[in-house]
A and B are shown apart, each in its own frame.
Chain A
Amino acid sequence: MIMHQFLYKILFIFSLGLILPQMVFAAQISFDAKTTQAQVGKNFEVTLFVNTEQENINAFEGKIIFPNDLLDLKEIRDGNTIVNFWIEKPKAQDNAIVFSGVTPGGFNGRNGLIFSAIFEAKKEGVVKFEVNDVRILRNDGIGSMAAVSVAPFEVVISKKTQVEIPAIPKIEDRERPELFVPEIARDESISGGKWFIVFVTQDKASGIDHYEIKESRQRFFIIFQKWSQTESPYILQDQELRSYVFVKAVDKAGNERMVKINPQNPLGWYENYENWLIIVLGLVIAYAIKKFLWRRYLKK
């Protein structure tokens, strides 16, 4: 019987060895463009996609290298990206576009748009787009690295192309960025426990360009206050949380969405000089009316 158990174990261990190698999948980073030809002096758009190939992935980062002697980066569009939060919003850095971001809960699918870039072709040549330092992480709770393959992509720039290069459509965006709810929080690890505000929203058409903020303890006079451009998280100036805070999201087409956060510790009515001004103004008006009516009465 012991012999049989031994043989069974041997058979089992041998069989386990056959499990491997499993099929290996690799998420694929790929580029796409309407055409692989470009004309000197004209713009063309290149879009970066990810095909997850059965993997559920939730974090992306990388660096797209392009020859800046041949190309001039004009614009980056991320309006329909699968990335919900940018850690580093795609931006130009010398001859590269660096990006990193996350998709909470993960993404598993094909042709997941990361962002697109519009370049102007400066002179003739062959443009090879490369992706360096690319990392794609699995949605597995430990951030393990998924295997990644990058599909090579080339664009040929000529003085005159054989096919007509389609013009890049201008984004018709009349919609405001989406409604959002900023949140005020504090944490000992940020600026010594100071209160800060966090916010993020999306604009599906043209993408968010920037955010602006202003805070004031006065409800009405805040309209005379200037907006200042900011990023999330923003350390609040009023650490007593007695101010109204306005946050404005501006998309790349200039549409704006403004939200107001009421103070957590509003001023008492007697502490707000606005109220005193209103009272004084009211008294003055009442006095003027009374005087006016009195004069009319005397005339009669």
Chain B
Amino acid sequence: MASFASADEFTSTNYKVLEPVMFSGAYSSSTGYQLFGAISQISIGTSTAASFGINAGFLYFPTATTPVVSATAGNGQVALSWSASQGYLGWTASGYNAGQSTTSGGPYAYSSSLGNVTSSARAGLTNGTTYYFVIRVEDAFGNSIATSTEVSATPTAPSGGGGGGGGGGGGGVLPETAVVFSGRAYPKSAVTLLKDAQIAATSIAGSDANFSIKLSGLSAGNYIFAVYSEDSKGIRSSLLTFPASVTSGATTNVGGIFIAPTIAVDKSEVKRGDNIAIFGQSAPQADIVVSVSSDEEFFGKIISDKDGIYLYNFDSSFVDYGSHYAKSKASIGNQAVSSFSSVISFKVGTKNVLAQLPTTVPAKGDLNGDGRVNLVDFSIAAYWYKRTLSAEFKPKEIERLNGDGKVDLVDFSIMAFYWTG
């Protein structure tokens, strides 16, 4: 028997897998065979990578995160803005296009490409009609690589004004300035909304992981909003931020928020050849791609259960001894692709060491030890900015900041990453 075989055994009318490599059973612990690796390229016209990458497994397809979209109705128009899409494995978001429909779910009429911008005003709309919009992400060749969740807005004629004569009469009630946020977190999880980095509201997601938060009493202007959630084990997600422009007297709908999965491992050190469980929570029935970074990047794919829980057993024999990193992302159909989760590390060694669940206390940045990274910690760091550190503060700087014996921009960047509000 040959020690390995190459063939183009997998074909369909849509695709063909060329030359998968099979190794003999003797090479691995499998009694049959083990698919060890494959090399292929992304089809021409779908990648902007200057060179190409190599990854093991069949799951190294490029993806792009779906944008968070804001829609604010005006007089005969709707102002759209969206967060920049992040491409992976060769895909680069090079432009955007807005799809528009008067029917929820489409079909959507697309204009010509808007270019690499993150806002657009859709004019010439009929007041009183609800319009539905999606944002399509395009690569450098104009191919669609991701499409956002739909958001809606109803243009309205300005109230009051005009009209002659007549006296008296009370003034009308001014429409409120508000923002409605909607998206997916984890089933029945607590969702925290930050407005310009300070906690503005909290909510509980439904059993389908969907949540909606309304924030009113805002001023007109540009805001940086952010959301995070905590899963059923108390593990906090990474922070998802998106800028939004708020218009006076209008309600802005922000849709397509998809909080990245949480992630944990069952072992801080795994004996090479044993499995390590990589798990966390996302939306129910979501496709979860787990990435393990080593010299090369390995991918695994599973589907979360009805509670959004996922568990992926990674065979550590694929990687060398040493430290490795895992992260995960979720997608639902082609309609929502989250960004990557936080990164968690583990070691491949000679023994198994069980891991503690990630604590709710941020790994860095929490200077006053209250389990949060917020304005108090920022103020403490600001106090020591460009000053000689005291004997009391030096150990904190080493433990909770970057440990270079001074407080500078890098320390504030670390705090900003671990920010909880």
Contacts and interface: CB of A to CB of B under 8 A. Distances in A.
Contacts of A56: 86
B197 A103 contact: yes
B412 A87 contact: yes
Contacts of B360: none
B364 A141 contact: yes
A98 to B, nearest CB: 12
Given A105-B239, A204-B221, A232-B379, A189 B409 contact: no
Given A84-B197, A104-B239, A185-B368, A233 B383 contact: yes
Contacts of B367: 187, 189
B84 A58 contact: no
Contact of A102 (B116, B364, B380, B413): B413
A104 B416 contact: yes
Interface in A1-35: 1, 4-5, 8, 12, 15-16, 18-23
B205 interface: no
A103 B221 contact: no
Interface string B74-86: 0000000001101
A58 B4 CA distance: 49
B355 interface: no
Contacts of B414: 141-143
Interface in B236-286: 239-241, 243
Nearest to B220: A204
Interface stretch (A108-116, A147-155, A283-291): A108-116
A103 B416 contact: yes
B412 A19 contact: no
A82 interface: yes
Nearest to B217: A179
A87 B413 contact: no
Contacts of B385: 87
A52, A102, A233 — which one has the most chain B CB atoms within 10 A of its CB? Answer: A102
Given A105-B194, A141-B364, A15 B54 contact: yes
A143 B239 contact: no
A132 B135 CA distance: 37
Contacts of B399: none
Given A52-B84, A185-B368, A105 B416 contact: yes
B376 to A, nearest CB: 5
Nearest to A108: B84
B226 A104 contact: yes
Interface stretch (B45-53, B101-109, B160-168, B328-336): B45-53
B222 A204 contact: yes
Contacts of B39: 15
Interface stretch (B123-131, B178-186, B305-313, B390-398): B390-398
A143 B401 CA distance: 10
B33 to A, nearest CB: 14
B118 A61 contact: no
B416 A19 contact: no
A80, A82, A105, A203 — which one has the most chain B CB atoms within 10 A of its CB? Answer: A105
A21 B410 contact: no
B416 A109 contact: no
Nearest to A204: B221
Interface string B383-421: 111000010110010000010000001111111111101
Contacts of B51: 18-22
Given A143-B402, A189-B380, A4 B4 contact: yes
Interface stretch (A194-202, A219-227, A265-273): A194-202
B92 interface: yes
Contacts of B343: 141
A143 B411 contact: yes
B378 interface: yes
A198 B375 CA distance: 7
A205 B419 CA distance: 26
Interface string B356-367: 000000011001
Contacts of B411: 143
Given A84-B196, A87-B412, A19 B219 contact: no
B384 A189 contact: yes
Contacts of B396: 189
A84 B395 CA distance: 27
Interface in B293-323: 295-296
Contacts of B222: 80, 82, 113, 204
A107 B243 contact: yes
Contacts of A106: 239, 241, 416-417
A183 interface: yes
A39 interface: no
B50 A135 contact: no
Interface in B13-60: 21, 24, 26-27, 37, 39, 48-54
B224 interface: yes
Contact of B224 (A105, A135, A190): A105
B93 interface: yes
A178 interface: yes
Nearest to A196: B379
A272 B279 CA distance: 58
B353 interface: no
Interchain residue pairs A-B with the least CB separation, the first 5: A204-B221, A104-B419, A143-B413, A143-B410, A105-B241
29 contacts: A1-B26, A19-B51, A21-B50, A22-B50, A22-B51, A58-B413, A59-B409, A80-B221, A84-B196, A84-B224, A102-B412, A102-B415, A103-B241, A104-B421, A105-B224, A105-B226, A105-B241, A106-B239, A108-B83, A110-B84, A179-B217, A185-B370, A189-B380, A189-B383, A198-B376, A198-B379, A204-B220, A204-B222, A205-B219
Given A12-B37, A19-B54, 8 more contacts: A12-B296, A18-B51, A80-B222, A82-B224, A104-B241, A109-B83, A137-B413, A190-B380
